[in-house]
Structure 1
Amino acid sequence: MSSPIPGVVAWAVIGYVTVLLSARFWLGGGAVMDRLVNHTGLWSIATLLIYRCASTPTIDDPANQLALGCVLMITTYQYSIGRLVSADSEPDTVWRHQRNVALLALTATVSIVLAAAAARYTGRSVDLRLAGVGLGIGCAFAVTYNTFVLTRICLGPLRDVDSPRAARIVCTVLIGSNAVLSGAHALSLSQLATGWPDGPQLSLVQAAFTLWVAINATLHAIPLVAELVLRAGMDRATRTCRRLLPLWRDLTAAVPEIVMPVDARHGSDPATRLLRMIVEIRDAMLHLGAYLPAETGETQRNTVREHESDRELTDYAHRLIRAAQARKAGLPRAGAPPPLSVVAHDFDAELSHLIDLARIWPQAKAAVEEPIAQRAVDRRSP
């Protein structure tokens, strides 16, 4: 094998990209962006496999010529991804344009292979020289500089001071990987124009391309991991919903009419479910306010301010549980609804208070229901 990449490293990268791409196909996603990324992965795997078949590190080898065509094809998809991210065109327009450009890249690849075969047949050399077939190959290779389109797009989040740190890191890594690949291409074009540096440069291009594939596959795995976390129910919104579920279930059982119908379009979205759950808990608390038992003096002094201790929160939870029991039993209201004891000035503060209430809810419910159950047992005893 003429490859500068050790076999164990090359096959590890091929296996890594194959696993990630298989996961992307398994998770589905028919959006244009998903299709562009998936096709880029397929052509990347094909290129790496072809590189493993090359017997020499020069353009004379048909395997390297086919690999060059695959790189051209990858370039067309990268360019389309750049257009789609920069919102220059509609997704459907980008996809139609991509099919046309891919056909041109396929035509260029066939031309390269046929020109190289004709050169070998006539006894001429096939290399990166400023003449003949070498010039054609060099011009085709220059098309890979379309990767600069992505670099230009990545500079946008870096200039924006409000961009999240994760987005900045991803953009920086993308710019770095494109710089490595473009640097290798620049050396090849320099050899084409000036003859410097001496020796074949395809080995360097292959090494840079392998590194680029590994980096980009890793970056494309970020939304993949996020989707897997979401499907496993381990995302933050779903975990919060699970924490609020006992509280929500008991309160909405007492006030079932406030439960909103599930929107088929957004019902499975964790963030939407969490928002609905919070709204319904708050509505239930408002309805149950008129059934709250009388407050103790200690509780009255702390009603209008936020809870400062578990003791105050537990007292409110006890009263709210009794209010839910009273409403479910059809008992009359205790009076006018008092102010809510959980005061929140924004979404995060309100969510934090409800999570605190849900945390002590099971213990508070057991403490309220245990005496009732014990009295029932005592009445049945002879």
Structure 2
Amino acid sequence: MSSPIPGVLAWAVIGYVTVLLSVRLWLGGGGAVMDRLVNHTGLWSIATLLVYRCASTPTIDDPANQLALGGVLMITTYQYSIGRIVSADAEPDAVWRHQRNAALLASAVTASTVLAVASARYSGRSVDLRLAGVGLVIGCAFAVTYNTVVLTRACLGVLRDVDTPRAARIVCGVLIASNVVLWGALALSLSQLATGWPGGPQLSLVHAAFALWVAINATLHAIPLIAELVLRAGMDRATRTCRRLLPLWRDLTAAVPEIVMPVDARHGSDPATRLLRMTVEIRDAMLHLGAYLPAETGETQRNTVREPESDRELTDYAHRLIRAAQARKAGLPPAGTGAPSSLPVVAHDFDAELAHLIDLVRIWPKAKAAME
């Protein structure tokens, strides 16, 4: 084998990309245009890496290298389409139609080159691909560079946006760096073709750079997969918070069942929506139970400064809220104390209110056990 990459490492890259693509397909990531573009990129990357492994010489004379160059060209047409979607240059459906035409053109160019060379060899005509191959490699290099520049330009636009999250900046930065590596390999390969150093045109460097580029891009494409797997496993922050709030929500809505909102079939499975709905329902239940709250203890009444509540103050409130829920479930009349209906500390935004509810949930089981 002429590959500059050790066999174990090369097969590891192929296996890695295959596993990630299989997971994408298993998760159902194939409906949107962007998903289809990423999936096709993965398929062509695997095919091209496999073709490179079949090359017997490191030069463009080898049919495997001709096919591999066509695979690289095909992959970068998908990169071009991804760049157009990222930069909002065109509608996704229009991009997909353009991509089908570009893929057909890349396939035709590759097939024509391979068939022409094979036909010439079969008929006994001399074919000096060390000279003719220069034009092929230069053409592919310019096409590959142009296609990847479009995506790089889109990533630079994302980086210039001051509102771009740090994670997105890291992804764009790594993607740009991987494209620069591929450009550098193509430029060096062209210089070797032009100068004849060392020993004429060869594509080993392009193969190595391409394998690295594929591994980096596959890793970047895996980030949404990890997020989806975390979401499906119920380990995301919103789902974990919902689980923590569940005992409080269950006890309060059992006393005030009419405030439970019907689940929207379109958004009911979204963790952020569930968390918002659960928080609103807990707050509404507290408002309804305000009329049933018994009077505060003397110690709580003396605490007129509304600073972050101590566990003692919060526990006293939890006891009163539990009594209010029990009274309403039993059908007793309101206490009529005019007691406040919300947490002892007033929250000014959703995050602050959620933090106070988490504090209440923390002492809720112990407070409930003390009331039994």
Unaligned regions of 5+ residues in structure 1, if any? 370-382
Residue identity in the other structure for 1:243: R
Render the CA deviation track for 1:281-300: whole Å, top value 9, x for unaligned. Answer: 00000000100011112212
Q: What's 2:368 paired with?
A: 365
Q: What's 2:115 paired with?
A: 114
Structure 1 contact 13–214 (Cα < 8 Å) conserved: yes
Distance 1:153 1:304 in 2: 53
Distance 1:185 1:328 in 2: 75
Residue identity in the other structure for 1:144: V
Alignment pair present for 1:156 and 2:145? no
Q: What's 1:26 paired with?
A: 26
Render the CA deviation track for 1:133-167: whole Å, top value 9, x for unaligned. Answer: 53144213321011111111111232233322212
Alignment pair present for 1:12 and 2:12? yes
Answer with 185-194 or 66-75: which moved more. 185-194
Q: What's 2:357 paired with?
A: 354
Distance 1:247 1:285 in 2: 11
Distance 1:299 1:56 in 2: 85
Residue identity in the other structure for 1:34: D
Q: What's 1:2 paired with?
A: 2
Give structure 1 regions of 4+ aligned residues with deviation exceeding 4 angstroms: 192-198
Q: What's 2:266 paired with?
A: 265
Q: What's 1:97 paired with?
A: 98
Q: What's 1:372 paired with?
A: none
Task: Tell me how far 1:307 sits from its aligned partner.
Answer: 3.8
Task: Tell me how far 1:197 sits from its aligned partner.
Answer: 6.0
The within-5 A match list for 1:152-301 is 152-193=153-194, 195=196, 199-301=200-302
Task: Tell me how far 1:32 sits from its aligned partner.
Answer: 0.8
Distance 1:81 1:75 in 2: 9
Distance 1:153 1:303 in 2: 56
Aligned residues: 366
Distance 2:302 2:34 in 1: 57
Unaligned regions of 5+ residues in structure 2, if any? none
Distance 2:66 2:151 in 1: 25
Answer with 338-347 or 255-264: which moved more. 338-347
Structure 2 contact 117–127 (Cα < 8 Å) conserved: no
Structure 1 contact 115–133 (Cα < 8 Å) conserved: no
Distance 1:333 1:213 in 2: 68
Distance 2:306 2:96 in 1: 57
Distance 1:263 1:41 in 2: 35
Structure 1 contact 116–133 (Cα < 8 Å) conserved: no
Render the CA deviation track for 1:26-72: whole Å, top value 9, x for unaligned. Answer: 00021111110011000000011111111000111111111111111
Distance 1:300 1:27 in 2: 55
Distance 1:248 1:19 in 2: 41
Answer with 247-256 or 88-97: which moved more. 88-97
TM-score of the pair, normalised by structure 1: 0.92
Structure 2 contact 87–157 (Cα < 8 Å) conserved: no
Structure 2 contact 60–133 (Cα < 8 Å) conserved: no
Q: What's 2:126 paired with?
A: 123
Q: Percent identity?
A: 83
Answer with 155-164 or 297-306: which moved more. 297-306
Task: Tell me how far 1:194 sits from its aligned partner.
Answer: 5.2
